[in-house]
Amino acid sequence: MSFYSDLNYLKPSKGPILEDIDAIWQSIYSILGTKPGTRVFRRAWGGNLSRYLFEPCDEITARSMMYDIEETLKQEPRAILNMSESQVIPDPTNSQFILVLSFDIPGFSNYEKTITLTFKQRK
């Protein structure tokens, strides 16, 4: 029996239903990838990481991104962002930020997921 379940709309080839950690992770991924104002009846839902596409790849931008991620993920009550283990690491050589997000999920052990977002500048 699972605590949480959700429809699998990101990778339907893995089955129609996601359970527990997978369902929560899909929700987190959706929140971070959705621009606020794009969901009908939930205008404030989502995060705006796309606004960092053309910002400098430095520590100041990384801190700003981490603050936005922390505020955005308050929309997912099933997962608590562990700020002491989460960080945004700028990688100016490859024009990318590495997001290391660690979550405490009540009823489960600590769960850590690493996401790499690449922001390439146009030539």
User: Residue 35 is part of a domain; what is its CATH number?
Assistant: 3.10.450.40
Boundaries of domain holding 102: 5-118
Residue 88 tokens read as 């945004």
Q: What is the pLDDT of residue 74?
A: 92
Number of domains comprising the chain: 1
How far apart (Å, rounded) are the C-alpha atoms in residues 46 and 66? 15
Residue recorded with tokens 């596409």: 53
Q: Is residue 123 part of a domain?
A: no
pTM: 0.77
Q: Reduced to 3 states, what is the DSSP secondary structure of residue 113?
A: strand
53-102 per-position pLDDT tens digit: 888 989 999 999 999 999 999 998 888 888 888 889 998 888 888 888 88
The rounded distance, in Å, linking the Cα atoms of 82 and 104 is 6
The CA-based dihedral angle spanning residues 45, 46, 51, 56, taken in that order and rounded to the nearest 10 degrees: 130
- What is the distance between the alpha carbons of residues 120 and 15, in angstroms, rounded to a whole number? 33
